[in-house]
Structure 1
Amino acid sequence: MHVVILAEFAAASGGAEKVAVESARALAEAGAEVTYIQAIRGPVDPLLDHPRLRRIELGLSDVWSLPAWRGAASGIWNGAAAARLATALDTLDALPRPPDCLHLHQWTRALSPAVLPVLLGRGIPVVLTLHDYALACPNGVDYRFDRAEPCTVAPLSGACLAAPCDPKSRLHKLVRVGRAAALRLALGQAALDVVHVCDGSRARMERRLGALRVRHHRIDNPVRIERGIPAEPAANDAVVYVGRLTPEKGADLVAEAARRAGMPALFVGAGPLEARLRAEGAEVLGWRSPEAVAAILRRRARAVCAPSRWLETGPLTVYEALAQGLPVVASQRSGAAEKVVDGETGFVVAPEVVALADAFQALKDDALTAHLGRGAYDRYWRAPLTLAAHGRALFDLYARLKDEYLMRHCGMTGDPTLPQTALSGGAPLGRSHF
């Protein structure tokens, strides 16, 4: 099987690209031939160095690096992106093994809706992972920044168009509305297969995608962490927040709740709230490598907190904390909260200062903290979110979609050129699998 992974970056600038890179590696290790198409110039993750993995760079610019008028126009419809992608796919079609499936991970920084007709017109299955809500919502996160609460109005309705909900300005909102309209135009009546990374995202998007022809699938994000000795959270001192320091992600809630509970708060990340948090005496370390973050968590974290005010689809930090045996305090609005068992592996609370402070206060009990940490470790490793598990899930989805396509268009099933080995262990697969 030959899979094309399309993302805007080839190194982690956010969760979407991290998952795209790790998906490509997982598929290559599973035996697939993988082409990773990188839209924007930039660094390349070493994970993309694999014998079954090739990389193509389209050489596009991030719209945020362009003059305002040009960035706005490119964000709505980037004809150059569509043309360069079409050329790259034509090159791949000429290979002995042309692509069997196209998988798009992000499109808002350079690719724009213009690439969707190119992808949908290739005559093979197209999959889109929804790392956010941009397929429905103009600002991408289904959140009212003017009210600091999740959005409740219908996407692109009159109320939506009138709402001053953009995090930057009404002018930015106008551009984003233009992009959302272009997206609907690009999709037309085409059918699209989308992957959700949490149950909450799937339920919400099934309600909000309206007349779009979409089939929904559910696959967990991968977690690239080796099983080791469980951490000892009861020996640590701080509640740790990892991520961008913004109000919608709740960094300010952690700082205030920790003060009320009389517990240190440690922030790993950067963002608009950084200066304020430092001025208030919080310990802010800035961004750190994944390896450094893991070490910080083991050394300092009594618990990890993901207090999102917005309906975050699945912060990977939560899964990484559970894998190490650290309790998690998660917002009810976070998709990652689905992996936290309240009272057994951490606490699931409202994204409010009082609720968070109560959870932090409970964590001052050493015996309870140790119990939650053991529960987090044991429960996670019963069904770990490994690269291999992620690769198997993707492989199964692609194979099913390919079979369905062949049945619809060719009146046949199976593909004799696909590898007839299992994704792990090398056991033969029955032909009906493909």
Structure 2
Amino acid sequence: MRILQVHKYYSKKRGGGSVTAFFEIIKILEKNGHTVSVFSMKDSENEKSEYERYFTKHLDFNEKNNVWEKIKMVGKVIFNREAQKKIEKIIQAEKPEIAHLHNFYHYLSPSIIFSLKKNKIPMIMTLHDYKLICPNYKLFSQGKICENCRGGRYYHCFLKKCVKNSYSFSLVAMLEAYLHKFLKTYERVDLFIAPSKFMKEKCVEFGISPEKIKILKNPFDTKNFGLNKEEENYFLYYGRLSEEKGISDLIKAVAKIHQENFLEKDKLLIVGKGPEEKNLKKLVQKLKMERKISFLGFKQGEDLKKIIASSKFTVLPSVWYDNLPLTILESQLLKKPVIVSDLGGSKELMIENETGFIFQGGNIDDLGEKIKKMLNLNFLEREKMGEKARKNISEVNDEKNLYSQLLKIYKEVINNYKRKEKK
């Protein structure tokens, strides 16, 4: 089968979980004999690709541009004509039987959907985030979960400065959402894939037909996670340091249990970087927790795996609707119990009290109690949880099963498209 995979990033250093899934899908498809072409944006950190000549020019929203350049960039965010033309060229050259869309907005824009439709290419789209129903893609604004745009009331995005706390960025996101609602752009996509049951349910709540969404977890390479390290006296948060991740709640919970004389030997390590880093460090200083909470900066690859493998457990304290966090997958593959928020799709990867604990998202006291509960377990009890976690996640991420389901979806979409064309 000839398959076109589309993502705004073709760099393994960018984009988090959606990029990981994107590259893993390409690898699995090629391994099973399919011809995979790629459409993306040029970037100095991109992987090498024979299809790079079709990629669009690099866009950098952080560059200092003059007014005219900024206006042109806004136009590309909403409807990128270059992306339309470039994707038509790769369609003509590679003649894909189906296109699989991932995160493409802002850099490639939804304009590519019109080109695919014009050329009669069936489309599926994986919902890696909430962009389909929320202009800022998070369903999170001003420090809390927000569903004000339900029913197409996208003006709330502007009024609440939902994008980067900026009226100008939020205005662009609002206009983009209204335009593509008016054009019925996403109605041209034949099928959506939701990596979590929660994602499907939330999209259905916002008016998307349940028949247009199938649940299929993102594939994840479970190899190279056989590292065994001796447990050390720390537990771990790792990931992006941003408001929706709930790290400030975690710091406050740790400070609270420390006041109860519960952290004699143990400490919290925080690994990652992001916009909240300075504020989080100030919070640690304010609470006088420097001896019990340490920031290690950004880590990746084997260095990160060693830190995870040596921890007692990891914590994902999100205060937003996480979809399918890589943090849980990686931790469990390294035989680590996990404490997760009950918000979003995270709990779908858990077996309560067997692979870790689930706390009420946003409830600092409950988070603290779950940390205490985990620390109260002895090494063998945590080890048993970790073994169960690895077994569970390995079964959930069985490559053959996921490939079989994905191929079935591709074939169904292609056949349904052909039937519609004949009518």
Fold agreement, TM-score > 0.5: yes
- Deviation per residue, 1:281-334 (Å, 9 max, x gap): 3322222223322221112x2111111111111111101111221101111113
CA distance in 2, matches of 1:117, 1:137: 21
1:20 counterpart letter in structure 2: F
Q: 1:120 matched to which residue of 2? A: 117
Task: Tell me, yes or no, if structure 1 residue 311 matches structure 2 residue 300.
Answer: no
Counterparts of residues 283-432 of structure 1 (less than 5 Å): 283-299=294-310, 301-351=311-361, 352-364=363-375, 365-366=377-378, 367-381=380-394, 383-410=395-422
- Deviation per residue, 1:50-108 (Å, 9 max, x gap): xxx8665413222514534333222112112212222222222xxxxx21110111122
CA distance in 1, matches of 2:210, 2:197: 19
Aligned residue pair count: 396
**Residue ranges of structure 1 left out of the alignment (5+ in a row):** 93-97, 412-434
Structure 1, 173-182 or 198-207: larger mean CA deviation: 173-182
Counterparts of residues 122-271 of structure 1 (less than 5 Å): 122-143=119-140, 145-157=141-153, 160=156, 163-166=159-162, 167-188=164-185, 190-209=188-207, 215-226=212-223, 231=228, 235-261=231-257, 262=263, 263-271=266-274
Partner of 1:39: helix, strand, or coil?
A: coil
Counterpart contact for 1:252–1:277, Cα < 8 Å: yes
CA distance in 2, matches of 1:380, 1:57: 37
Q: 2:260 matched to which residue of 1? A: none
Counterpart contact for 2:24–2:219, Cα < 8 Å: yes
CA distance in 2, matches of 1:274, 1:161: 25
Cα offset for 1:253?
A: 1.8
- Deviation per residue, 1:175-215 (Å, 9 max, x gap): 101111222244355353111111100000011145x7971
Q: 1:41 matched to which residue of 2? A: 43
CA distance in 1, matches of 2:281, 2:204: 41
Q: Percent identity?
A: 19
Cα offset for 1:124?
A: 2.5
Cα offset for 1:139?
A: 1.1
Partner of 2:125: helix, strand, or coil?
A: strand
Partner of 1:302: helix, strand, or coil?
A: coil
**Two-structure CA RMSD over aligned residues (Å):** 2.5
CA distance in 2, matches of 1:290, 1:228: 11
Structure 1, 75-84 or 222-231: larger mean CA deviation: 222-231
CA distance in 2, matches of 1:40, 1:55: 7
Q: 1:6 matched to which residue of 2? A: 6
Counterpart contact for 1:30–1:392, Cα < 8 Å: no
CA distance in 1, matches of 2:337, 2:365: 19
Counterpart contact for 1:63–1:74, Cα < 8 Å: no
1:372 counterpart letter in structure 2: M
Q: 1:243 to 1:34 in 2, by over 3 A?
A: same
Q: 2:99 matched to which residue of 1? A: 102
Partner of 1:325: helix, strand, or coil?
A: coil
Cα offset for 1:353?
A: 1.6
Counterpart contact for 2:312–2:382, Cα < 8 Å: yes
Partner of 1:89: helix, strand, or coil?
A: helix
Q: 1:152 to 1:178 in 2, by over 3 A?
A: closer
1:317 counterpart letter in structure 2: T
Cα offset for 1:24?
A: 0.9
Structure 1, 125-134 or 167-176: larger mean CA deviation: 167-176
CA distance in 1, matches of 2:80, 2:228: 47
Counterpart contact for 2:125–2:189, Cα < 8 Å: no
Partner of 2:212: helix, strand, or coil?
A: strand
1:330 counterpart letter in structure 2: V
Counterpart contact for 1:306–1:329, Cα < 8 Å: yes
Counterpart contact for 1:309–1:333, Cα < 8 Å: yes
Cα offset for 1:397?
A: 1.0
CA distance in 2, matches of 1:163, 1:347: 37
Structure 1, 253-262 or 168-177: larger mean CA deviation: 253-262
Output the TM-score relative to the length of structure 1.
Answer: 0.84
Partner of 2:385: helix, strand, or coil?
A: helix
Counterpart contact for 1:2–1:34, Cα < 8 Å: yes
Q: 2:287 matched to which residue of 1? A: none
Q: 2:75 matched to which residue of 1? A: 73
- Deviation per residue, 1:7-40 (Å, 9 max, x gap): 1111231222221111111111121110011223
**Residue ranges of structure 2 left out of the alignment (5+ in a row):** 258-262, 285-289
Output the TM-score relative to the length of structure 2.
Answer: 0.86
- Deviation per residue, 1:150-198 (Å, 9 max, x gap): 4255143277356405142222221101111222244355353111111
